[in-house]
Structures are given as C-alpha cells and as structure tokens.
Amino acid sequence: MEKKQTQVKTQSTAKPAKSEDVTGKTANVGEFAFGKENYRLMLIGLAFIVVGFLLMIGGGSADPAKFNPEIFSFRRITLAPILILAGYVIEIFAIMKRPKD
C-alpha cells in the first residue's frame, strides 16, 4: 500500500508547474493590454459615435398632430449614421491594433 502512495506522489511532482512556459514565450506581467495610441484611437472613435448620436437629436414637433419634415433632413438620415458607423470602425481598429513595444 505504501508503494502505491509514493508512486502517485512522484508522478504529481514530475509534471511541469503551471507558471512554466513550455514554448519559451514570456508573459508581460504588469503591462497594459493597449498602448497610448490605442487609447487615443478609442477616444476618437467614441467622439465620432457621440457626435453622430447628437446629430440625430431633434426634429420633432411640440404638437403631435403636426408633421415636421425636418425629421428627414440630410443630417439625421445620412450624416449621423455615417459618423456612427465610422466611430465603430475606428473602435474595432483601435482594439485590434497591436501596441508598439
């Protein structure tokens, strides 16, 4: 019975520790996932999105029985959605861009 216990102990100690990296790559501990440029691009993308939504605001009428054609202006139908989509594209690019070392 004692031999079986010692065999189990030797097998468990023979395995490499979880902290060891088998491929030889080192983990960058204490570094941020994104660089300065990534954060700057994220803020620019966020600004595009906010401006796009702000451009969509308004165009309503104080009287619900009256129709206001201003709701179908170029700014609300074309410009604002293009800015919002551009903001999302910038955000995706900012996340996917590798930071410089």
Tens place of pLDDT for every residue, the chain, 101 residues? 555 555 555 555 555 555 555 565 666 677 778 889 999 999 999 999 999 999 999 877 788 888 888 888 999 999 999 999 999 999 999 999 988 76
Is residue 99 in some structural domain? yes
**DSSP string over the chain:** -HHHHHHHHHHHHHSPPTTS-SS-PPP-TT--SS-HHHHHHHHHHHHHHHHHHHHHS----SSTTS--GGGG-HIIIIIHHHHHHHHHHHHHHHHHSPPP-
Structural domain boundaries enclosing 79: 32-101
Please indicate, yes or no, whether the overall pTM of this predicted structure exceeds 0.85: no
Is residue 97 in some structural domain? yes
Domains identified in the chain, total number: 1
Is residue 63 in some structural domain? yes
Is residue 91 in some structural domain? yes
- pLDDT score recorded for residue 7: 54
Is residue 8 in some structural domain? no
